[in-house]
């Protein structure tokens, strides 16, 4: 089954500075089938940059390094080719698309990934089942994509896509952001149901350990200053909750008064 391999990845972001300073400064990470990795770090550490670079966002430029999936060069693929290869990104800030209904968006996405349009009656049944599991009302399907959605509705819709598209590798960018306790449990249950397939990989990006109470990772990585600075098991997340990120922050930043 496909493995996601990131080697010495350096990335700059358009418009971040006059000289396009690198945000990622040498990331090495391997996510194998059946593994869940939690990537934890403070705001501005580059976690979302890693997610968008893997997904192929045009503002993110890889200046050095490689990303492969199932041995194939991800960086040479278009965005839609990455999706069809089995890579999925649940965005931290999903985009509103007025005039495009959730149901039309989902059917179009499923058609693109599966290679053929699902039969309408079967697709409706499949979608309703997935929506019920996420406690999403049926009227949700006719709303414009993300328009006027609450934070919880947006995140549930991201997990709805995850369930219907069934990717081989899911990158979840701060899926717990803005969720109350009830919504967090529902979303976590959806992710765990996806993980239950056994042969899929998950890269879960988060600030806090609260979602890890419901989704137990196999590996935890601390991300500071555009690189991974420490790795461990689930107990590392508990240490971060108790101690914070300050001990990983470069001394020069602390002396300048810049803290996570």
Confidence band for 63, pLDDT divided at 50, 70 and 90? very high
Confidence band for 244, pLDDT divided at 50, 70 and 90? confident
Distances from the Cα of 219 to the Cα of 35, 152, 175, 203, 238, angstroms: 8, 26, 18, 10, 12
- Contact residues for 244 (Cβ-Cβ < 8 A; gap 6+): 260
* 81-110 residue pLDDT tens: 999 999 999 988 888 899 999 999 999 999
Average of per-residue pLDDT across 188-202: 93
Please tell me the pTM assigned to this model: 0.90
Phi, psi of 168 (to 5 degrees): -85, -25
Superfamily for domain range 4-94+167-255 = P-loop containing nucleotide triphosphate hydrolases (3.40.50.300)
- Sketch the domain layout of the chain as residue ranges: 4-94+167-255
> Is it the case that residue 251 has pLDDT exceeding 50?
yes
């Amino acid at each position: 089954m496909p493995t996601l391999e990131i080697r010495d990845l350096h990335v700059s972001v358009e418009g971040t500075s006059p000289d396009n300073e690198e945000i990622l400064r040498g990331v090495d990470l391997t996510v194998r089938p059946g593994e869940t990795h939690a990537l934890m770090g403070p705001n501005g550490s580059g976690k979302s940059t890693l997610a968008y670079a893997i997904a192929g966002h045009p503002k993110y430029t890889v200046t050095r390094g490689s990303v492969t999936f199932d041995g194939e060069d991800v960086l040479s693929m278009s965005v839609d080719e990455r999706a069809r290869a089995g890579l999925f990104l649940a965005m931290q800030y999903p985009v509103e698309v007025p005039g495009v209904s959730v149901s039309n968006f989902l059917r179009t996405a499923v058609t693109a990934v599966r290679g053929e349009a699902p039969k309408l009656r079967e697709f409706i049944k499949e979608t309703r089942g997935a929506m019920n599991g996420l406690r999403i009302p049926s009227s949700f399907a006719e709303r414009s994509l993300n328009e006027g959605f609450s934070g919880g509705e947006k995140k549930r819709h991201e997990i709805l896509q995850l369930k219907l598209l069934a990717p081989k590798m899911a990158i979840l960018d701060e899926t717990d952001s803005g969720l109350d306790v009830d919504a967090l449990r529902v979303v976590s249950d959806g992710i765990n149901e996806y993980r239950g397939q056994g042969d899929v990989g998950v890269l879960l990006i988060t600030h806090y350990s609260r979602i890890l109470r419901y989704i137990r990772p196999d590996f935890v990585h601390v991300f500071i200053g555009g690189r991974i600075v420490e790795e461990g098991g689930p107990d590392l997340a508990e240490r971060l909750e108790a101690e914070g990120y300050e001990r990983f922050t470069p001394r020069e930043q602390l002396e300048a008064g810049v803290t996570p």
